[in-house]
Amino acid sequence: MKLLDFFKNESHAPQTKIVFMALVSGLANGYLLTIINGAAEAVNKSEDIQVNNFFLFLLDLILLIYTKQYSLKQGTVAAEDAINRVRLRVTNKLRNTELPFIEMTGHAKIYTRITQDTSLISESAIILINACQQVIVVFICLLYIAWLSIPGFVVTLFVLGISVLMYLYNSKHISTQLHEASNKESDFFNGIKSILIGFKEIKINRKKNDALFEHIKDISKETNEIKVATGLHFVIELMFAQTSFYILCAAIVFILPAISPTQTDQVLGITIAILFLFGPLSMVVSAFPLFVRANVAVENIYQLEHEIDLSSKKQDLTDIKAPVFKSLEFNEVSFFYPHQHDQNATFGVGPLSFKLNKGDTLFIVGGNGSGKSTLLKLITGLYYPLTGNIYLNNKPLEADDYVDYRELYSTIFTDFHLFDRLYGIEDIDSQRVDQFLETMGLEKKTTFKNNGFSNTELSTGQKKRLAYIASVLEDKQIYIFDEWAADQDPEFRQYFYEVLLKDLKAKGKTVIAVSHDDRYFYAADRVIKIEYGKIIES
């Protein structure tokens, strides 16, 4: 089972000691059955109950409580340790993977695997550990029944064996259904994401709003049907397990004396053992659905990790340092987006050829869908060219060079994320940040303290100005601004072209800006126009 391998391979807790304590706990629990059964027989035969047996019962109970508590506590620590280790490992691999993988996999699937699936494993840890302990108790009870009566043991094992085989037979089908439900959950989260991110669009378009909700309803209905079908399977199995228990009791009471008259005296002891067996067995049966779900969750997490490993390029991340930028040249570079299903090329850009020198200010213009954003991702090394070569300082970029090459850039894309803290920037001069906030007209909107901004819930234009402050503080050699001025009022738009860009140029910085403001094209050293993925004017 993947779940057991998960705890075994991922946790550094003292697993041997935990297993030993769980085994002792199971033995102590099973020995209680012997003490209670012996006491019951003594009462049945009107014999005196010895006081030492009572104290033996108390000692065994104390041993049971101590070992059970230890194994549950340490088992919980082991489970959380394993979950934390895997969650951080996958997250670390995720941040070092490539952008196309993130775009093709989807945020919802990744988020579901790292958060929801790991939470399910965490929530099930105690129940599953306790159920594993109860398996030991079940085993001890079976051994006790075998000691009392071999025919009784055979009958008990036969009935329980059929139940176990039924469980194993149905578990594969249930596991498949749970995988389907998990994938549908990811689709459902994507729908919720569309509502949150596209709220403005659906708020002013009722048909789009209704159509999106109908799509979400369809996904929710399909998910519900799968979960209901899976739940019904679990109910049937639960009822079958309980029915099997009653059948077992009937077999011991009615059938065993008939097939083996010599076992009549043992019927009472076997019946008590089966009644004692019912509690642990019921707990194991009840934990089975959770065990299957947690097992599917582990498979999902490992599958995601495997996909990340396949998509990631092996690169040395120990000593990353940006090269000194002198020039950048594209020579017949092209890139095409593969189709997610048949891998046939669809939209792309290229072949593209141009050159950029240190200190240049380059404007890129073009209509929506012309390929500007794809070009920026090629320039910044987020995409790898399919054909052609990129030359940095007159040397062709190799795959191993990209980690250092990306360090040249500070970017503000159109779909940028505004971090609430200045990650990766050391020795920040808070007075300089305050001066930037005042210059950008943000001093009344947010403040800088504890290496972060007190408020990032701003308008789009204000967010871009705050992102500009963070970008300049990074002090990179090349700056990318993807339609930065589009959401600014006329005053800040003019300030961007006539002051901010000139300041960067005066500091020797290279700027690449996507712009539609033709009235400010004079602020650029060069303007490239792109249509249908090709440069048509320069």
Answer whether residue 496 is part of any domain. Answer: yes
pLDDT at 401: 87
The reported pLDDT for the residue numbered 362 is 93
The helix/strand/coil state of 119 is helix
Residue 270 confidence (pLDDT) above 90: no
CATH code for position 426: 3.40.50.300
For the chain, the average pLDDT equals 80
Query: What digits encode the pLDDT tens for the residues 347-363?
Result: 788 798 989 999 999 99
Say what the pLDDT of residue 140 is.
Answer: 77
**289 occurs within a structural domain:** yes
Percent of the chain with pLDDT over 90: 13
Interval 110-137 mean pLDDT: 77
Task: Indicate the pTM of the whole model.
Answer: 0.71
In this structure, are 293 and 339 located in the same domain? no
Q: Which residues pair with 335 in a beta bridge?
A: 349
Confidence of residue 342 (pLDDT cuts 50, 70, 90): very low
In angstroms, the CA 36 to CA 19 distance is 26
- The neighbour count for residue 285, using CB atoms within 10 Å, is 21
Closest by CA to 436, choosing from 466, 476, 474, is: 466
> Is the confidence at residue 478, as pLDDT, over 90?
yes
Residue 395 pLDDT exceeds 90? yes
Residue 222 within any structural domain of the chain: yes
251 with 344, same domain? no
**Residues listed for the chain:** 538
pLDDT in tens, 429-439: 888 888 989 88
Strand order of the β-sheet with 478-482 is 409-412, 478-482, 510-514, 361-365, 526-531, 534-537
What is d(CA 290, CA 1) in angstroms, rounded to the nearest whole number? 13
Is residue 321 in a domain? no
Phi, psi of 68 (to 5 degrees): -65, -45
At position 161, the amino acid (one-letter code) is G
Query: Cα separation of 252 and 254, whole Å?
Result: 6
Give mean pLDDT, residues 246-251. Answer: 73
Name the most confidently modeled range: 14-28, 154-168, 413-427.
413-427
80, 217: one domain: yes
Q: Name the pLDDT band for 534 (thresholds 50, 70, 90).
A: confident
Residue 27 within any structural domain of the chain: yes
Q: Is residue 526 part of a domain?
A: yes
Q: Which domain covers residue 520, as residue numbers?
A: 327-537
Sequence-separated (6 or more) residues with CB below 8 Å from residue 111: 189
Provide the pLDDT confidence category of residue 408 given band limits of 50, 70 and 90.
very high
Q: Last residue of a domain, which of 311, 344, 366?
A: 311
**CA-wise closest residue to 485 among 359, 365, 354:** 365
Domain boundary pick from 248, 276, 311: 311
Residue 290 counted as domain residue: yes
pLDDT at position 178 over 70? no
Domain count, the chain: 2
The answer on 418 and 279 residing in a single domain is: no
Task: Classify residue 320: in a domain, yes or no.
Answer: no
Digit-coded pLDDT (tens) for 205-234: 777 777 877 877 887 777 777 777 777 766
pLDDT in tens, 231-248: 776 676 667 666 777 777
- Lowest model confidence (mean pLDDT) among 78-92, 161-175, 291-305: 161-175
The DSSP secondary structure of 493-513, one letter per residue, reads HHHIIIIIHHHHHHTT-EEEE
